[in-house]
Amino acid sequence: MNISTVLLLIKLLPISNQQDNEIYSRRKFSTQFIYNYTVGIIEIYNAVLVNTTTNENILWNANFNDPTTHDYKHLFHLLCALVLKWGKSVMYLGSDDGVCTEIIFSPADVQQSAETQNSHVVAKSTSAFTFPFVLAYDGHHIKNLLDAKYEEYNTHMNLKVDTYEASVNKCEYNHFITHRNYEHFN
């Protein structure tokens, strides 16, 4: 056994205080925090999209079905920015900036497949906003605010939501965080 091993073993033994004969030790403790948060979910559906430059409905393009195409990505980013700006304007204080969780484009006349080439685009978007737990979350009130702010927030760059339907829901989550620490006492 070498000297460093002996020194290490000595350090691991309880240390005795010669003056008052107290023994020092360590106590491990854990603290668990519960972080409650709410996710407000805004769903806009049957949204008719209009090009504000031409003031005409955006015509259906088969590329809007393929998320890898430039057409889809361009329209996705325009609509996502619009609904996030609109949603943020009605969410509770302290919410994040939101995220688009789903955007789907489809032709307006999906039942008439022979005529879909001349159809216009309708969109469905789902966005989520996270904020600290709110006891009195009122989805109906948020939906009314969304409708009231329609004229102010229904346009972004050259995209406008002409008509739409909407619903507002919420999910509540609890996140447990455990913090471990060591305390020295005598």
Which pTM was predicted? 0.72
Secondary-structure class of domain 37-172 per CATH: alpha beta
Banded model confidence at residue 17, pLDDT cuts 50, 70, 90? very low
pLDDT score for 33: 73
Mean pLDDT of 45-60: 96
- What DSSP string describes the chain? --HHHHHHHHHHSPPBPTTT--B-EEEEEEEEEEEEEEEEEEEEEEEEEEETTTTEEPBP-GGGG-TTSHHHHHHHHHHHHHHHHHHHTTSPTT----EEEEEEEEETTTT-GGGGGG-BEEEEEEEEEEEE--TT--HHHHHHHHHHTHHHHSEETTEEEEEEEEEEEEEEEEEEEEEEEEEEE-
Which of these ranges, 9-23, 39-53, 127-141, has the smallest mean pLDDT? 9-23
Please tell me which residue, 168 or 7, carries the higher pLDDT value.
168
The predicted-structure confidence for 159-168, as pLDDT tens digits, reads as follows 999 999 999 9
The average pLDDT across 108-132 equals 79
Q: What integer pLDDT is reported at residue 174 of this predicted model? A: 78
CB count within 10 Å of CB 68 equals 7
pLDDT, mean over the chain: 82
pLDDT in tens, 20-30: 444 445 566 66
**Side-chain half-sphere of 126: how many Cα atoms within 13 Å?**
7
The domain spans of the chain are 37-172
Mean pLDDT for 157-181 is: 85
Of 18-22, 89-93, 128-132, least confident by mean pLDDT is 18-22
Q: What is the largest CA-CA distance in the chain?
A: 97
Given a cut of 60, is residue 88 above it in pLDDT? yes
- The pLDDT > 70 percentage for the chain reads 74
Structure tokens at 26: 């360590």
| Residue 2 pLDDT exceeds 90 | no
How many Å separate Cα 131 from the centre of its chain?
9
Give pLDDT, residue 183.
Answer: 57
- Identify the pLDDT of residue 157: 86
